[in-house]
Structure 1
Amino acid sequence: MRRAGEWEQAYLEFAGARSRQLYRSACLLTGGDTHLAEDLVQETLGRMYLVWGRVARIGNPAGYAQTVLVRSYLAHARRRSSGERPAAVLPDGPGPPDADAVLRLTLLDALRQLSAKDRAVVVLRYWEDRSIEETADVMHVSSAAVRTRSVRALARLRELLGGEVGEYAAGR
């Protein structure tokens, strides 16, 4: 058993090493809502702190943290208040965006239009590069449900994006 100081130091090292990856995943899950992404990462790290004393039984703390993040996101998406959105246009915005920023915003906008579960499947399968079985386990659904959601979500993304992605990628 570790002493309290060693335990806290190990947690701080883990949190420092994983917070950036958790934040990137959270940004994709939230469709670019950086404030909600920060809240989800904070909630994830808080939950990890609570179980850190049992980390030896977890086996893969990084994978467990990703699972906690996705489940926190899905729980948030089920709440009624999660439908609130900030204003789309700000009065004094920055200058014209570059091609990479436009592509990123276009993709985030398309992700935002997917349902919460479809977005979670896309992020887990294609951003996190998880297997169908791992994705099913994280989301508490069957492998068939993950396959079905993947196909439908990708079709919806293609429909939403049309030729737009090719235009932006070609301009790079």
Structure 2
Amino acid sequence: MTWNAEFTDHFDRCADSMRFTAFLLCGNWHEAEDVVQAAFLKLYLAGPKLARRDGLGAYLRQIVVRTFLAERRKVRWRREKLTDDLPEVPDGHAFSEERLVVWQALSGVPAKQRAVLVLRYWNDLSVEETAQALGCSTGNVKSQASRGLAALRRKLGPEFGELRMEV
């Protein structure tokens, strides 16, 4: 199979899940689309040079997260502004009000902590897989997850109820 055909097949299988992961990281669909587009471009350009292609999904997730974090570092002056409006939901997707409230609160968590929370609890990656995707130690993942959950709990407030996520 040629790289173009393999890339197209991989894109068809992974685009939606990568967009949603990027949405959870970015907090809005427009920025998520930009991150995913940049990630797929990086994957496409790197593809012919890859010795093994059996882990493209994990590699693409790593590119998405690192692209998101790089954008956050590059544009420090641009900070997210929290509003009372709930995040945009694409057509055809119905989500519970509780989930939307958590997503809104997640957008106020610092970028690295948010990346850890999304990878660990949304993408269900292990501590080791999360560390590999972020290029950091497992201890860093554990501390970022702990701090991120604490920040998320503060944003949600005591009236929201107890978050039941294990670090």
Could you state the TM-score of these two structures normalised by the residue count of structure 1? 0.79
> Does 2:1 align with 1:9?
no
Structure 2 residue aligned with 1:77, among 65, 72, 79?
72
Measured in 2, the distance between the counterparts of 1:81 and 1:18 equals 30
Instruction: Letter of the 2:5 partner, please give it.
Output: Q
Change (3 A) 1:86 1:122: closer
Given the alignment, which residue of 108, 126, 136 partners 2:121? 126
Write out aligned runs for 1:142-161 (5 A).
Answer: 142-161=137-156
* 1:29 alignment counterpart: 25
Q: CA deviation at 1:104?
A: 3.3
Write the distance in 2 (CA, Å) between the matches of 1:86 and 1:136. Answer: 29
Moved more, 59-68 or 152-161: 152-161
Percent identity (aligned):
35
Larger Rg: 1
Q: For 2:122, give the aligned amino acid.
A: W
* C-alpha contact 1:118 1:153 (8 A) present in aligned 2: yes
Q: Note the residue ranges of structure 2 that are not aligned, 5 or more in a row.
A: 86-93, 162-167
| Structure 1 runs not aligned, ≥5 long | 91-98, 167-172
Give the aligned partner of residue 48 of structure 2: 53
Report deviation, 1:102.
3.1
Change (3 A) 1:159 1:21: same
- Choose which of 29, 36, 47 in structure 2 pairs with 1:41: 36
Q: State TM-score, norm by structure 2.
A: 0.81
Question: Are 1:76 and 1:82, in contact at CA under 8 Å, matched by a contact in 2?
Answer: no
Say what the alpha-carbon RMSD is for the aligned residues: 2.5
CA 1:114–1:86 in 2, change beyond 3 Å: closer, same or farther? closer
